[in-house]
Amino acid sequence: MSNLGWSEEKAKSVEANYHELYQVSDQYVQDRLRQASKEGYVEVAFGLRVRTPLLKQVLYGSRSMPPAAAAEGRTAGNALGQSYGLLNNRAAIEFQNKVWASKYRYDVFLVALIHDAIYLIMRDDIEVVEWVNRELIKSMQWQELPEIQHDQVKLGAALDLFWPDWAHPITLPNDADQNTIKRLCREAQAELKQAA
């Protein structure tokens, strides 16, 4: 409330809407924490185990749960969600291997990973841009972990070109051909000239 300047009513409404929207995810976390209270660990992305020795000593969710065990539960719950940020690292590694194995190994350079984004610099060459747009997106759409496979919800991504600066993204459609990429860039350049 104080960070956003919201009323208590609005803050509670936003929180309720969040939990309504993500009820399946919330239930998944609660089920995993109950399991952790039996096993002494919670298994997160890629099989990593986070030990929960305090949860193992109590009945998770009970009113008599000590504050330290509740705090450990919050930490384990956060690890459940945050660990899937490793999907971005996995995609970057796969894509970097594609770059090294390609004729574009001197044209594409990964420079940073931030949360769910992969930042790179590439040569100003339409063939390179088309290849990156196809291959990077394939790497980011990987969904082979059993717990994230879903018949309707798929992982997605889109490549943004930033030109002439960070304030002006050009979002490319997945699998765009060279003509589409050129057209989108020309349109973006025309909009910039018109705005100037």
Say which DSSP state 42 is in.
E
- Type of residue at 163: W
SS3 label, residue 130: helix
Whether residue 164 is preceded by a cis peptide bond, meaning omega within 30 degrees of 0, is: yes
SS3 label, residue 107: coil
| pLDDT tens profile 55-96 | 888 877 777 788 898 899 899 989 988 888 899 999 999 999
Tokens read off for 176: 């765009």
| pLDDT tens profile 136-176 | 999 999 999 988 888 888 888 999 999 888 899 999 999 99
Given the structure tokens 């749960």, which residue do they identify?
65
114 contacts: CB under 8 Å, gap ≥ 6: none
pTM of the prediction?
0.81
